[in-house]
Amino acid sequence: MDVLHPSRPNVSRADLSEKLAALYKTNKDRVVTFGLRTHFGGGRSTGFALIYDDEASQKKFEPKYRLVRVSYICVVTFSVISVDPLSSLA
């Protein structure tokens, strides 16, 4: 998609999702925007958008990192404590 925004430095993904949802008469949660790049000098951006029919197909086809970005799945992080086996010998 190409976005023209001459009076703004860039456009947020949330704003684009709302506009695309209104344009295609769908829920804004089913619109996924990614890969937005602002052209040098501002005023124009390019990117990609996917519109899904339902939540099940969105969860099936979207990569995990983009599902985390829109808060469909939670990521649990674990900290690993590394122990040097030679430190106990000294």
**Residue 86 belongs to some domain of the structure:** no
Tokens 């999702």, located at residue: 17
Per the model's pLDDT, the better-predicted residue between 75 and 62 turns out to be 62
**Residue 81 belongs to some domain of the structure:** no
**Residue 85 belongs to some domain of the structure:** no
Using alpha carbons, list the distances in angstroms from residue 26 to 9, 31, 36, 76: 27, 8, 21, 31
Total tally of structural domains belonging to the chain = 1
Query: Once rounded to an integer, what is the mean pLDDT over residues 14-33?
Result: 93
**Residue 35 belongs to some domain of the structure:** yes
Q: The pTM is what?
A: 0.72
**Residue 90 belongs to some domain of the structure:** no
**Residue 88 belongs to some domain of the structure:** no
**CB neighbours of residue 49 within 10 Å:** 18
Q: How confident is the model at residue 85 (pLDDT cuts 50, 70, 90)?
A: low
CATH code of residue 63: 3.30.70.3370
Domain that holds residue 60: 2-69
